[in-house]
Amino acid sequence: MQTHAAQPGQWIGYVISTVIVVVVLAIRMRGMKRTRPLRLETLWVIPAIYAVFAAVMFMQFPPGRLGWLFSGLALLVGSALGWQRGKMMRITVDAETHKLNQQTSPAAMLFIVVLIGVRFAARDLLAGSGAYSLHLSTMLITDVLIALAVGLFATTRLEMYLRARRMLAAARAPVTA
């Protein structure tokens, strides 16, 4: 059985990645204290960009049968994770103006950090002899991650849209005694 010792350059990569993640998280955590306007009419934009990107990637480099299966499963997993992440987002309606606001919750941020951690762990696991013994290709892994991202972002926004629309309808409904 082969074991792979960490190379000096590999540790530098880990340190740089960790520093970047910590800086980005610090910036995002500061921004989480503010509420931002939530515009229902623009929630579709980010998922649409990812969907177009995914479609282009799948058309240029179509996966095989196993790739389609794994990508479909990743889309379902991403959708389930996205729905949970969407539920973690705080949405409020101003009682007087009926304007929607959103605030990222710390739980939603932690959720993304955990996903990043899982991705790094999977990369390290597959970087050893794991990927070769499982006969996984880089393109297959890329396809799966793209499908996961599309499911995650699309259903996060879908859940937010449906919940915000219900909240807005309730706020606009006439008050009956």
Please check whether residue 75 is in contact with residue 50, taking contact to mean a CB–CB distance below 8 angstroms: no
pLDDT at 18: 80
Rounded CA gap, 55 and 113, in Å? 26
**At residue 50, what is the residue type?**
Y
pLDDT at 113: 72
Contacts 24+ apart (CB under 8 A), 79-84: 79/151, 79/152, 79/154, 79/155, 80/151, 80/155, 81/111, 81/115, 81/148, 81/151, 81/152, 82/151, 82/152, 82/153, 82/154, 82/155, 82/156, 82/158, 82/159, 83/155, 83/156, 83/158, 83/159, 84/111
**pLDDT tens figures, 37-57:** 999 999 999 899 989 999 998
Relative to beta strand 90-93, strand 36-37 is: unpaired
| Whole-prediction pTM | 0.72
Residue where the block lists tokens 């992440």: 85
pLDDT at 1: 46
pLDDT at 125: 66
pLDDT at 119: 66
pLDDT at 61: 86
Residues with pLDDT less than 70, the chain: 1-10, 112, 115-116, 118-136, 177
